[in-house]
Homo-oligomer: A and B are copies of this chain.
Amino acid sequence: MRIAIVGAGALGLYYGAMLQRAGNDVSFILRRDYEAIRTNGLHVYSVDGDFHLERVKGYKTASEIGEVDLVIVGLKTFANHMFGELISPLVGKQTIIVTLQNGLGNEEALATHFGADRIIGGVAFLCANRGVPGVVHHLGEGRIIIGEYHGNEIGRVSTLAGIFNDSGIPCRAVAELKKARWEKLVWNIPFNGICALMGRTVDILLRHQETRKLIFDIMIEVIDAGNAQDVKEKIKPQFAENLIAFSEGLGPYKPSMLIDRMEGRQLELEAILKIPLTLAKESGVHMPKVEELYALLDLSETENKV
């Protein structure tokens, strides 16, 4: 299968490497890692075993790649305005586009550009960071849940799930992705948000009783908002407690938004906080603590610090 990875951060590099190792024909659009990968290939340091791909197809532009069967989008959501430029040359009649991006609004944006029919949504539960150029660290997890953006056909996503599973990426096809999206937000909103705002890792947040309580409160707000989104199966409040217990195991983990902040990148506030806030409000759910977190993060993006 011809696959193109658009947005080759930690997520794109890791999943692309797994798919290539399993025999797929994978091309990456690269920026920071271009030289390193062209010269030395791609190193994956993984909790499941390290491996090295000696020859990796890395390109600077999509037009060098041309049409593919599958586009995997791992782009930072604040770069969604570049969808046209980065993806159009890859899209032929049969091309499927899967977004594994954070937060909400990505399928919609892709559908506007390329038509709803070819869009598949995905939610990735992956702990990975980039290392030096040419290196990606897989710290844990990795499973993906995918579902059609348009309608609830299960056939095509099941086939795609097979390709991921055959590559060692646990993948489940579902008829409705919405619940999984909101479940991921239940983690992403408090941990990405507070870690980035405060410049602290996951373990410090959890060690600190007041913040731990705040995380729990935010999780409950997000669960209530998610459950108001016309999902078939509700997220249970117990999910918050389980997620906090799970996060204990992450240690001094840096969520992607903290890394974005540390490396001077923009934060994914729109997809991870603002759109969920808007949807919650539209469905009559008030999320005061998420609202405050968003306001402070948004302020933190302005540079006028004393």
In chain A, positions 161-210 with a C-beta closer than 8 Å to chain B are 194, 197-201, 204-205, 208, 210
The size of the chain A interface, using a CB distance under 8 A, is: 32
Q: Is A80 an interface residue (CB 8 A)?
A: no
Q: Is the CB of B217 within 8 A of A288?
A: yes
Most B C-beta atoms less than 10 A away, residue of A211, A214, A305 = A214
Write the nearest CB–CB distance from A303 to chain B, whole angstroms: 10
When all copies of this chain in the complex are counted, the total is 2
Bound-state CA distance A262–B291 (Å) is: 27
Q: Is the CB of A295 within 8 A of B258?
A: no
Q: Is A300 an interface residue (CB 8 A)?
A: yes
Q: Is the CB of B210 within 8 A of A294?
A: yes
User: Which residue on B lies nearest to A201, using beta carbons?
Assistant: B306
Bound-state CA distance A267–B292 (Å) is: 21
Map CB proximity to B onto A267-303 as digits: 1 under 8 Å, 0 otherwise. Answer: 0000000000000000000001101111110111010
Q: Is the CB of B210 within 8 A of A299?
A: yes
A200's partner among B258, B289, B304 (CB-CB below 8 A) is B304
A305 contacts which chain B residues (CB < 8 A)? Answer: 198-200
Given contacts A198-B300, A288-B288, A288-B289, contact A214 B295 (CB under 8 A): yes
A295 contacts which chain B residues (CB < 8 A)? Answer: 208, 210-211, 213-214
Q: Is A254 an interface residue (CB 8 A)?
A: yes
Most B C-beta atoms less than 10 A away, residue of A201, A254, A306 = A306
Bound-state CA distance A197–B210 (Å) is: 15
Q: Is the CB of B258 within 8 A of A298?
A: no
Q: Name 7 extra pairs, CB < 8 A, besides A214-B296, A289-B289.
A: A208-B295, A208-B298, A208-B299, A210-B294, A210-B298, A210-B299, A288-B288
